[in-house]
Amino acid sequence: MKLAELTRLRRDAEQLRSVAVDDIPGPERTLLLGYTCDRHTWHVYLRGSDVHLLVYDDVSRDVIRHEKRYRWLAADLVPDKRVYPESCDLAFARLLTSHGVELSFTAFNEDRYARLVKSPFHGTIYDSSVQGLAVAEGAPCDRRG
C-alpha cells in the first residue's frame, strides 16, 4: 500500500466513525449529559449549526473546555466516566452505538427524569458573549445537571 492509500484508508475509516450535525435531526437540545472521572460535568448539545461539547466544574462554574464543530469523531463526544440516561437523546445514543461507541450509564433516576423531561437543555450551555456559562432558555433553574 502506498502512503497516499494509507492516508485515504484512515480518512475513510474516520468518516465512518464521525457524527455530523446533519446526522442529528430535530430541534436544538441536549444530546448527552454526564460527568468525567474528575467530576466535571460533560454536556454535548446541538445549538445552531454545530454540536457543542462543554465541560465545566459545576461547583466553581469554571469552563474546562468548550468546542463547537459541525463534525466530530463519535468517540470524542462521550465522557470517560458516566452518562445520565435521563439526559441522553435516544437517537443520538443509537447513532453513537452504531459507530461502535459504548455508553456507560448511571442508574436511571425517575425524579430527575420528571424534573428534566420538558426541558430542551439539561445542563448549562456556553455563552460566547460572556465567555462563560449560561442557563439556556427552557432549561431547569437549578444548577444540578
Give me the pLDDT at residue 140, please.
Answer: 62
Amino acid at 23: D
Give me the pLDDT at residue 38, please.
Answer: 97
Cα radius of gyration rounded to whole Å, the chain: 16
- Asked if 55 and 36 count as a contact pair (C-beta separation under 8 A), the reply is yes
Q: pLDDT truncated to tens, each residue of the chain (145 aa)? A: 888 887 887 776 665 689 999 999 999 999 999 999 999 999 999 999 999 999 999 999 999 999 999 999 999 999 999 999 999 999 999 999 999 899 999 999 999 999 999 999 999 999 988 889 999 876 664 444 4
Give me the pLDDT at residue 93, please.
Answer: 98
By CB atoms closer than 10 A (0-12, 13-18, 19+), residue 40 is: buried
Give me the pLDDT at residue 15, please.
Answer: 59
Q: Give the pTM.
A: 0.86
* Residues shown for the chain: 145
Backbone angles phi, psi at 98, to 5 degrees: -65, -20
